[in-house]
Amino acid sequence: MTAIESDQPSNQSDVERNATASKRKRYILYGVVALVGLLLVWAVVWWFSPHSFYGTVIQSPEPAADFMLVTSDGEEKSLSDFRGKYVVLNFGYTFCPDVCPMTLAEMSSMADALGPNKMDDVQVIFVTLDPERDTPEQLANYLSYFSPDFIGMTGELADIDPVASQFGVFYEHVKQEGQETGVFGQPQHACGPDRPRRLCKSDLQFWHTRRRHRQRPRLHAPTPSVLK
């Protein structure tokens, strides 16, 4: 009788320990499930939310001086003709083997991502740095591979030089295997209105995402700059 009574506390203690261990395992399981659920929610939100952009916002932009060149349609147009729109200026040349077509392809993807309604407020302009070969017809044919809404601009080199200089574009014509090519840097800029008759200038950068291979332009709330 005495031996049996002495075994009861031990058995009860084992049961309590087992119950405690079982509860602990359940809590751990619940915690793991909750953590996995939170990670899944975060992944879904991250996947479908727009990414933040990066780059340098020009707080005190320089005045964007007006200029006039010949478009790919054969018409003379000035920068001021595009007031009321975000103007994305790209400097390059149609015989560029890699950077120019890649950049224009990104802008084409940008246009697709924004859609026709938003693109009504955006104008992409491709200013050539090789006007001797990039005639209006050549520009029109080249840009047709990317978007029918992109506009090319050409003219005399003496007219293009100050435009490129204004937007901080460095380039030079060099001879390579009997062909003349342009080497340049910092070719992209954006001008955007915050109210009529105002333009701004800022660097344009793209955020590359894996989702649907979309590229979106870094168009911040524009910093105004009076157009001369």
Per-residue DSSP letter, 50:
P
Triad 163, 165, 170: Cα angle to 5° = 120
pLDDT tens digit string along 172-218? 777 666 555 555 454 555 555 543 333 444 334 333 333 333 333 33
**pLDDT of res. 213:** 35
β-bridge pairing 170-176 and 76-78 = unpaired
Band (pLDDT 50/70/90 cuts) for residue 128 is: very high
pLDDT tens digit string along 25-41? 888 888 889 999 999 98
**pLDDT of res. 75:** 95
On whether the pTM is more than 0.85, the answer is no
Query: Residue 110's closest CA among 55, 56, 150, 54?
Result: 150
pLDDT tens digit string along 129-141? 999 999 999 999 9
Query: Residue 145's closest CA among 115, 182, 100?
Result: 100
For 27, 131, 181, 183, the CA distances from 177, given in Å and listed in that order, are 73, 20, 10, 15
**pLDDT of res. 149:** 94
